Chain A
Amino acid sequence: MSAPTGITWATLTKDVRLEWRSKDAINSMLFFALLVVVVFSFSFDPEAEESRQIAGGLVWVAFLFAAVVALNQTWARELRNQVLDAYRVSPAPANSLFVAKALGNFIFVSVLEALMTPLFIVFYKLRVLGPAWQLIPVAILGTWAIVVNGTFFAAMSLRTRSREIMLPLLLFPITIPALLSMVEATTTILVGDPSTSAKFWIVLLATYDVVFTTGCLALFGTVLHAE
């Protein structure tokens, strides 16, 4: 394993181990997402057809809000005892840290999605009418869109006084194109309208991911070593 890959792996396993021991991010995310599912299902009490129309938006907004909890937690851990300074004085490349953090958040948010999706199906009486397999790339690309920007902006807001507020303020507007793609793609697949296809939205989401991952990687060194 090359040095940067080895550092990424070491940081990723360290983060997963810390989360496994504390369960800070997962518990908070699960609780929040669960609340959204239950509250919205009681508020709307939707029929199956209605559910298919609104579920795409509901699911992704719930995951986006819940992800913010994990994203803040990832960096908060590095601020305790100023551990981040130990990384900053080391020769380890900044992008190894970024990739490890983004992958860690991807794992945590994916676990949340895996646990919450069955609940969404039950509470909203969902049945997929379109090609269900297309939900897999939408989930992967959509989750990556959230975590890659979230990891970057959480690092950027790390040294601000009100970073919990700062992260959503920065993240949500920049995520709008991705969110739109995720919601449209999910709704198209759930409704199964033969006149429309989710492929356009999936390609758009993939393009968004490539552009923003490249941008975040190019700028993360500056963010990490900024005063």
Chain B
Amino acid sequence: MNEPNTAQTNPIIAVTNLVKQFGRFAALRGVSTSFEASRLYGILGDNGAGKTTLLRILAGLVPPTRGEISILGKKNPREVCREFGYMAHPSLLYDEMSGVENLRYFARLYGLEDEARCAQVIAAVGLDPALERPVGQYSQGMRQRMSLARALLNDPKILLLDEPFSNVDIRSAREMVKLLGGMRDQGKTIFVVTHQASLLDGAADEFIWMDAGQIVNRTRDLTYMETA
């Protein structure tokens, strides 16, 4: 097994001894690592490995029980929340409103008044901005893509994506991976929590392997999956 690589040259995010307890259950057990800018990271592991908890801590949604975080040089993720795009497993969208109506509202939360930006991100994820149907009537795959569009609205430096490919057909998922690869090339740092690791094969710069609340390995490819 490769040793987890924690020595990075230009860390955009660094965490030290990160612990998260939910009652007696330890979701994270002393995670220490760092991540470089302009990279696409695949975060892999079984259910309950701590992937989502790590992402939610980085997004500032959940405070760690112990440990330190440094994101873009700040210790509190809330201070740099303008630089985040966060996509969770649920859509984070209002079912009763159309995609554009949803994005228009979320754009206002970031102080964005530009109507064209909403249409631009919707088109970027392969949906039609003119679609007037409420999100509740979208297929699961369309919801996932609209959710990604919401995460892209504020043109974030760091994208935190939790299961972006779940219930998305294989062709659309590959298009999403291509889109993420393009954004990484433009300088964004992207974290993708997924159970569909093979989709990121060749696209991700590094895979972070988690188990029982710890990072157990960091690899360039998926060969570790066969030995784990």
In chain B, what residue has the closest Cβ to A80?
B95
Is B86 part of the binding interface, using a Cβ–Cβ cutoff of 8 Å? yes
Interface size on A, residues (CB 8 A): 25
Is B202 part of the binding interface, using a Cβ–Cβ cutoff of 8 Å? no
Structural contact, B110 and A91, CB atoms closer than 8 A: yes
Within the assembled complex, what's the spacing in Å between the Cα atoms of A89 and B109? Answer: 10
> What's the minimum C-beta distance from B1 to chain A, rounded to whole angstroms?
33
User: Are A7 and B108 also in contact (CB < 8 A) when A18-B96, A85-B61, A86-B150 are?
Assistant: yes
Within the assembled complex, what's the spacing in Å between the Cα atoms of A3 and B86? Answer: 22
* Chain B contact surface mostly: loop
* Chain A contact surface mostly: helix
Structural contact, B94 and A18, CB atoms closer than 8 A: yes
User: Are A89 and B97 also in contact (CB < 8 A) when A3-B111, A81-B92, A83-B92 are?
Assistant: no
Structural contact, B110 and A89, CB atoms closer than 8 A: no
User: Are A10 and B108 also in contact (CB < 8 A) when A80-B95, A91-B82 are?
Assistant: yes
Structural contact, B62 and A227, CB atoms closer than 8 A: yes
Q: Could you mark each residue 68-91 of chain B with 1 if its beta carbon is under 8 Å from any beta carbon of chain A, else 0?
A: 000000000010011010101011
Partner of A7, one of B63, B94, B109: B109
In chain B, what residue has the closest Cβ to A9?
B108
Neighbouring A residues of B92 by C-beta, 8 Å:
81-83, 85-86
Is A162 part of the binding interface, using a Cβ–Cβ cutoff of 8 Å? no
Structural contact, A86 and B106, CB atoms closer than 8 A: yes
Neighbouring A residues of B97 by C-beta, 8 Å:
14, 17-18
Structural contact, B106 and A90, CB atoms closer than 8 A: yes
Neighbouring B residues of A200 by C-beta, 8 Å:
none
Structural contact, A89 and B61, CB atoms closer than 8 A: yes
Structural contact, A90 and B81, CB atoms closer than 8 A: yes
Is B60 part of the binding interface, using a Cβ–Cβ cutoff of 8 Å? yes
Q: Could you mark each residue 36-63 of chain A with 1 if its beta carbon is under 8 Å from any beta carbon of chain B, else 0?
A: 0000000000000000000000000000
Is A92 part of the binding interface, using a Cβ–Cβ cutoff of 8 Å? yes
Structural contact, B91 and A89, CB atoms closer than 8 A: no
Partner of B81, one of A14, A21, A80, A91: A91
Structural contact, A89 and B86, CB atoms closer than 8 A: yes
Is A118 part of the binding interface, using a Cβ–Cβ cutoff of 8 Å? no
Within the assembled complex, what's the spacing in Å between the Cα atoms of A88 and B81? Answer: 9
Is A22 part of the binding interface, using a Cβ–Cβ cutoff of 8 Å? yes
Within the assembled complex, what's the spacing in Å between the Cα atoms of A227 and B56? Answer: 11
Interface size on B, residues (CB 8 A): 27
Partner of A14, one of B59, B61, B86, B94: B94
Is A137 part of the binding interface, using a Cβ–Cβ cutoff of 8 Å? no
Structural contact, B96 and A81, CB atoms closer than 8 A: no
Structural contact, B105 and A14, CB atoms closer than 8 A: yes
> What's the minimum C-beta distance from A6 to chain B, rounded to whole angstroms?
6
| Residue from A14, A89, A90 with most neighbouring chain B CB atoms (10 Å) | A89
Neighbouring B residues of A7 by C-beta, 8 Å:
108-109
Partner of B109, one of A17, A18, A82, A91: A91
Is B43 part of the binding interface, using a Cβ–Cβ cutoff of 8 Å? no
Within the assembled complex, what's the spacing in Å between the Cα atoms of A11 and B105? Answer: 7
Structural contact, A83 and B63, CB atoms closer than 8 A: no
Neighbouring B residues of A11 by C-beta, 8 Å:
105
Q: Could you mark each residue 160-192 of chain A with 1 if its beta carbon is under 8 Å from any beta carbon of chain B, else 0?
A: 000000000000000000000000000000000
In chain A, what residue has the closest Cβ to B86?
A89
Within the assembled complex, what's the spacing in Å between the Cα atoms of A214 and B150? Answer: 33
Structural contact, A85 and B88, CB atoms closer than 8 A: yes
Interface residues, chain B, with chain A CB atoms under 8 Å away? 59-63, 78, 81-82, 84, 86, 88, 90-97, 101, 105-106, 108-111, 150
For the complex of A and B, 9 pairs with smallest distance between CB atoms: A10-B108, A90-B109, A86-B92, A92-B109, A82-B90, A81-B90, A89-B86, A81-B91, A21-B96
A selection of 28 A-B contacts at a CB cut-off of 8 Å is: A14-B94, A14-B97, A17-B97, A17-B101, A80-B94, A81-B90, A81-B91, A81-B92, A81-B93, A81-B95, A82-B88, A82-B90, A83-B92, A83-B93, A83-B94, A85-B86, A85-B92, A86-B86, A86-B92, A86-B109, A86-B150, A88-B61, A89-B60, A89-B81, A89-B84, A90-B106, A90-B110, A91-B82
